[in-house]
Amino acid sequence: MQKNIRNFSIIAHIDHGKSTLADRIIQECGAVSDRELSSQMMDTMDIEQERGITIKAQSVRLKYVKDGQEYVLNLIDTPGHVDFSYEVSRSLASSEGALLIVDSTQGVEAQTIANVYIALDNDLELLPVVNKIDLPSADPIRVLEETEEAIGLDCTEHNLISAKTGVGVKDLIDSIVDRIPCPTGDENAPTKALIYDSWFDNYLGALALVRVYDGSIKKGQMLKMMNTKVEHPVLDLMYPHPLKREKTTELETGEIGIVVLGLKTLDGIAVGDTMTDAKNPTSEAIDGFEPAKPFVFAGIYPIETDKFEDLREALTKLQLNDSSISFEPESSAALGSGFRAGFLGMLHMEVIKERLEREFNLDLIATAPTVVYEVLKKDGERIVIQNPSELPEPNYIETIFEPYVKATILVPDEFLGNCIKLLNDKRGVQNKMDYLGKRVLLDYDIPMNEIVMDFYDKLKSTTKGYASFDYEPIGFRPGILQKLDIKVAGEVVDALSIIVPENKALSKGREFIKALKELIPRQLFEVAVQASIGNNIIARETVKSTGKNVTAKCYGGDITRKRKLLEKQKAGKKRMKAIGKVNVPQEAFMAVLKI
């Protein structure tokens, strides 16, 4: 019965208690026994458990009885990190309401505000929930006032809970049933369902997690994907659950479920696509979601060169589970064949690299991350640059445009000076500054290139970890930029090239060279490590040669015998320097990431 279904997501800033609350709601609804219950049940990946963060949004179907009526609750637990906000937007697109969790000690944070805007764009019913009221420093009244002030959300109807102890969770579930609207769909219309997640199972093939908007999906039915035009029979239907999935023969209007299509290949299923009946299709597709636009690009190469095809297959399977990754083949003189992959941020890049290494047993190396630039050439042609090595010669370039982001930063007023200094160093432009009690809300435009590497780490260290940060892309603006090349023994190492602002080129070049000098192993000849812009060398260090004692076998006799051997060695070193090759070790690429 559609009127007894409630589809809702949990949204909040990092560490405000989303996954813990999901555990309590699952426990309260009796979906798992006390013996089966573990903390962060919805975080099923090893990497999520280890890092203590949610990476993938997870769904679960629960049953709850109120006033003698049975309700079906479809709960979606979402990530909090800005790099995974695409997961949040997909989850909210398939919900009617959302629980907005705010920490009673921390208050409103940058990601809280960002997630609220995504929820309001989807016209969701928002339930303000103040968590962690069991802590001694909890101040729920202040937090509710701050929420009203910062977000403009009416908090007269709210829930005070402790997800850790379970206080107030039963009342919260009652509020969900009372206040979140039931789905509105036509049960007699042709099948119309939105794919909002998908993944690959080694036994069942490709699986799609869908929300049914109109009609129903039955086992054995022929379904058609409206975007890719591919048709598949439904082999099986299941309800999502972190431990034990329950099979069903039909998914009705308003329900959420897993469709088993048994596909061995991954083309044909696209997240955001609409499923409909092949014989009696619906007239128009559901508005999916904007495809994710990668901001950060990096080369991913297998350390063993014969693993290139394995890496391609792994990336394709991972793309089914995380549709925000994009990749295309590329080759590098230094690293061989690999892929240029696009990510939503640095944490996303780290997580994907780690998942590839763990889930597919690959040894990988990632190059320095870069952002996308647009170049207007003197002949009027406009080209997109993902890799610094693609940048044309300076005499062909009219203007280089770099991507900018709108950054929202919440910082305690005592650290405001440090924060503004950091933002100015990163070429930020201030739009506005608002005081919320003892905290300041900063709104800045910053070049994407400046926040890609180490901005978040520096922000946390200058504010003792109290600042919170969120960003969204706002387009391209002209910049005064140059390509910085690194030469080892006279040869350019293409994987180490980066694009830098003109006024920072010299300092960056010197930093790079200093770090590389320590990392390149000593050879039998001197190795020059240089940083150059075009043909101009701007910094140089020399890796000293290792000496071999050629006079060891000379004992006694005339000094000229020793001189002769030393002269011979000198000539040999000169010849080696002319033709010698230096292998740049893997650590060097990692060191560049740190700089």
216-257 residue pLDDT tens: 888 888 888 887 777 888 888 888 876 777 888 888 888 888
* Alpha-helical regions (H) of 426-579: 448-452, 455-462, 505-519, 559-579
- Domains of the chain in start order, with CATH, are 2-179 (3.40.50.300), 192-277 (2.40.30.10), 301-316+323-367 (3.30.70.870), 373-479 (3.30.70.240), 504-594 (3.30.70.2570)
Any binding-site annotation on 132?
A: yes
pLDDT tens-digit map of 393-445: 878 888 888 888 888 888 888 888 888 999 988 888 999 888 877 788 889 99
**Residues linked to residue 314 through DSSP beta bridges, in sequence order:** none
- Is residue 588 within 8 Å of 518, Cβ to Cβ? no
CA-to-CA distance for 278 and 271, rounded, in angstroms? 19
Q: Is 580 annotated as a binding residue?
A: no
- Cα gap 496→493, rounded to integer Å: 6
Element (H, E) at 398: strand 397-412
Mean pLDDT in residue range 311-333: 80
Calculate what percentage of the chain has a pLDDT beyond 90. 1
* Phi-psi sector, 378: left (phi>0), alpha (psi -120 to 50), beta: alpha
- DSSP code for 547: P
pLDDT per residue over 263-282, tens digit each? 766 566 777 778 888 888 88
Residue 17 annotated as binding site: yes
232 carries a ligand binding annotation: no
The full DSSP string for 105-161 is TTB--HHHHHHHHHHHHTTPEEEEEEE-TTSTT--HHHHHHHHHHHH----SS-EE-
Q: Residue 583, class by beta-carbon neighbours within 10 Å (0-12 exposed, 13-18 middle, 19+ buried)?
A: exposed
Q: What is the pLDDT of residue 50?
A: 59
Q: How far apart are the first and last CA of the chain?
A: 58
Residue pLDDT, tens place only, 84-136: 666 666 667 778 888 888 888 888 877 777 778 778 877 888 888 888 888 88
Residue 215 CB-density burial (10 A; 0-12 exposed, 13-18 middle, 19+ buried): buried
Which residue from 428, 463, 432, 430 is spatially nearest to 449, judged by alpha carbons?
A: 428
Q: Give the tens place of pLDDT for each residue, 166-218.
A: 888 888 888 888 888 888 888 888 888 888 777 777 788 778 888 888 888 88
* Higher-pLDDT residue of 590, 301: 301
User: Does 131 belong to an annotated binding site?
Assistant: yes
CA distance 448 to 403: 6
Tell whether 479 is in a known binding site. Answer: no
φ/ψ region of 427 (left if φ > 0, alpha if ψ in -120 to 50, else beta) reads left
Contact between residue 593 and residue 457 where contact means Cβ atoms under 8 Å apart: no
- CA dist 245 and 38 (Å) reads 17
Structure tokens at 441: 């809300």
Q: Report CA torsion sign: 106, 108, 109, 112.
A: positive
CB crowding 569-578: b at 16 or more within 10 Å, else e: beeebeeebe
